[in-house]
Chain A
Amino acid sequence: KSCQTGKISTAETAVQSHTSRDAGVQTDQSKDAAQEFQQEVQMDYASLLSFLRRVEGAVIKELNKNWKSRAFDGFEVNWTDQNETVLCLHTLSYPEAQDQNLQVTSVSWNATGSVVACSYGRLDGGDWSTEKSYVCTWNLDRRGLNPQRPDLVVDVPSSVMCLAFHPSRPSLIAGGLFSGELVVWDTSRTEDPVIRRTGMTEDTHTDPVYQVNWLPDSKRRSHDRLLSVSTDGKILVWREERDGRLALAEGFAVVAQQVPRSAQLRKFSWGEAAVGVTSLSFSHFDPRVFVVGVEGGFSLKCSMAAERPALQQTGTSVPLRAPAELAFSPHGGPVYSVSCSPFHRQVLNLFLSCGTDGQVHLHSMLQPQPLLSLQLSKKYLFCVRWSPVRPLVFAAASGEGNCNKCLCFTGDVHLFDFEKSAQKPALSMKQAAGERPVYSLEFNTKQTRLLAAGDAAGAVRVWQLSSDFTEQGPREMSHLEQLAGEITD
């Protein structure tokens, strides 16, 4: 027997759209979504009470059992592949800048964590004020990434000393120049990316700008003010005016005579201490408190709310105030970098400072003496940063200086883990061939395994850290508190 389906009728037609339109879609920055919930929700008080009465006993029993239980001691679960090694994922550079012997002065990750930018300039002194420099960005998530070819290169007429991407708008990046100016670029604009600048006015810094930060504004919704520090001793806050100009909103000047001297530090002579500011870090717990590092070798705890006028007024449009509230015990040389810990529950705010004496000091903001002083290397330390995910980990970048072979750890990016050792680095990574210093490093807060480091050879290395540097252990916070508490006694 055979069977066959009946005749199926078919027809062919073609369809083509002959008009089309392009439309772009983008989500706007979301307004704060949490809404007030009514505590007066229609509910029956009596039934709530009887519910709680019913469950209270069981819950308290479980809480007590949990508190005494040893069932989960040492029990750990691995959800991700344990990556045991630290790899250098990318070595990015801009050959034209390298040909001009320019160095990477600063690196920054953008708000989404997929773009890394670096600034080319010179940190080894000299009067390079007329030298052209570049700001380059690479999108690491893009396919066909060419490490030698940045996605965007911005020509800048003066040496760029520092960079900072906007914390929520992924295409805005601010830079501080050797000339003392600040510029903001919008990397999504194809023609002229410059959208704001301070220009050279009475208010502009008279020395190179070594660090620039975006400040949250008073409503805490957008970050639109910029803060800059410079070796002219001034810390200035800028806001955007309508014509794209950056105008001075407030300012501080650090003057040697106004540095608060604590009795314990009396033996240090403050009179001659240079107060050029090289670095700044905001406290993560009180947005008005910040720490600055100065050339004189000490760090200062400062407050945005300080009101005392500065002794030195340099004819700026806004009167300058003296910000310092507490001076910390000095390093043996200028401080190049400070970093406040993003993890700390109690009043003990921790921060790190490093400088040319090759030491890293762990400070609590409550006392002038450091909690811990680590001689990391004999070379200058240019940058120190806390890890955004592991409270006990930080990274430091070194290079230059005289190196006595015995104490000098080979390698230029050092990763420290207080859980493993409080004396020596857990890992040191050699960044550049030869003894080229590493000037800047930044952790990627969105892709927490990545660390970018820029060096004097003009390259940016993106390191992928192993899981033990990126996974927080269950008791780390209490470890950190213990460490801070132990040493203060």
Chain B
Amino acid sequence: AEVEETLKRIQGHKGVIATMVINAEGIPIRTTLDNSATLQYAGLLHQLTMKARSTVRDIDPQNDLTFLRIRSKKHEIMIAPDKEYLLIVVQNPCE
């Protein structure tokens, strides 16, 4: 209930195309996309997030990843990482 409402709030924001939550193993828990697209996003972004995190920590072991954004021609992917979960939001920013 509250989980769904929070996700709905995020999904309802201007320009948001997709929202999903994946767990530490890269398995999707909640999503607004279809199966195959979700699996694709989950697998790829989980790996990328792990790589980004190890990059930050290798440069400075006292530092850690807090947020990851990927900007592409068509939209922006935002990733909020955590110990157990990853929140992924895809937004089409108006220009």
Q: Are the CB atoms of A72 and B71 closer together than 8 Å?
A: yes
The reply to whether A47 and B84 form a contact with Cβ atoms under 8 Å apart is: yes
Complex contact B94–A67 (CB within 8 A): yes
- Say what secondary structure dominates the interface of chain B: mixed
A62, B67: Cβ atoms closer than 8 Å? yes
Do A48 and B95 touch (CB < 8 A)?
Answer: no
| B60 CB-CB contact with A under 8 Å | no
Least CB separation from B76: chain A residue: A66
Please encode chain B, from 6 to 39, with 1 for each CB lying within 8 Å of some chain A CB and 0 for all others.
1101100111100001010001111000011011
Binds B, one of A52-60, A128-136, A273-281: A52-60
Contact present for B13 and A43 (CB under 8 Å): no
Neighbouring A residues of B95 by C-beta, 8 Å: 70, 72-73, 474-475
Assembly CA distance A475 to B74 (angstroms) = 8
Per-position binary interface string of chain B over residues 77-93, scored 1 when its CB falls under 8 Å from any chain A CB and 0 otherwise: 01010101101010101
Partner of A48, one of B21, B39, B69: B21
Per the 8 Å Cβ criterion, residues 54-79 of B in contact with A are: 67, 69, 71, 73-74, 76, 78
Q: Any chain B CB within 8 A of the CB of A34?
A: yes
A66 to B69, CA, bound (A): 11
Q: Which of B16, B35, B71, B73 contacts A63 (CB 8 A)?
A: B16
- Whether B93 lies near A48 (C-beta < 8 A) is no
- A residues 53-101 near B (Cβ < 8 Å) are 53-56, 58-60, 62-64, 66-67, 69-70, 72-73, 77
Closest to A62 in B: B78
Q: Shortest Cβ distance from A40 into chain B, in angstroms?
A: 10
Residue B44 at the chain A interface, CB threshold 8 Å: no
Bound together, the chains give a CA A429 to CA B89 distance in angstroms of: 44
- What's the Cα separation between A54 and B85 when bound, in Å? 11
Contact residues in A for B67 (Cβ distance below 8 Å): 58, 62
Give the CA-CA distance A43 to B29 in the complex, in Å: 9
Query: B80 near A59 (CB under 8 angstroms)?
Result: yes
Q: Interface size class for chain B?
A: 35 or more
B3, A52: Cβ atoms closer than 8 Å: yes
How far does the Cβ of A334 sit from chain B's closest Cβ, in whole Å?
A: 40
| A45–B3 touching, CB < 8 Å | yes
Please, which residues of chain A bring their CB within 8 A of the CB of B36? 33-34
B87 A52 Cβ-Cβ under 8 A: yes
- Give chain B residues whose Cβ lies under 8 Å from the Cβ of A63: 10, 13-16, 78, 89, 91
Complex CA gap A35/B28 in Å reads: 12
Q: Which residues of A lie under 8 Å from residue B94 when comparing CB positions? A: 67
A141 within 8 A of B: no
- CB of B53, distance to nearest CB on chain A (Å): 15
Whether the Cβ atoms of A48 and B3 lie closer than 8 Å is: yes
Contact with B along A18-61 (1 / 0, CB 8 A): 00000000000000011111010101010111011111101110
Known: A41-B27, A48-B3, A53-B6. A66 touches B82 (CB 8 A): no
**Distance from B67 Cβ to chain A, minimum over Cβ atoms (Å):** 7
List of A residues within 8 angstroms of B28 by Cβ: 37
- Give A258-279 as 1s and 0s: 1 = Cβ < 8 Å from B's Cβ atoms: 0000000000000000000000
Give the chain B neighbours of A37 by CB distance below 8 A: 27-28, 35, 38-39
Which of A45, A58, A59 has the most chain B CB within a 10 Å cutoff? Answer: A59
Question: In the complex, which of the residues A41, A55, A473 contacts B87, with contact meaning CB atoms closer than 8 Å?
Answer: A55
A473 to B6, CA, bound (A): 33
| B84 proximity list for chain A (CB < 8 A) | 47, 51
Contact A58 B93 (CB under 8 A): no
Instruction: Give the residues in chain A near B80, CB-CB below 8 Å.
Output: 55, 58-59
Task: Beyond A52-B6, A56-B10, A67-B93, list 4 extra A-B contacts (CB 8 Å).
Answer: A34-B39, A43-B23, A45-B3, A54-B82
Query: Which residues of A are interface residues toward B (Cβ below 8 A)?
Result: 33-37, 39, 41, 43, 45, 47-49, 51-56, 58-60, 62-64, 66-67, 69-70, 72-73, 77, 472-475
Interchain Cβ contacts under 8 Å between A and B, 5 examples: A45-B3, A48-B29, A51-B85, A52-B3, A473-B73
5 shortest interchain CB distances as A-B pairs: A34-B36, A55-B80, A66-B93, A34-B35, A52-B6
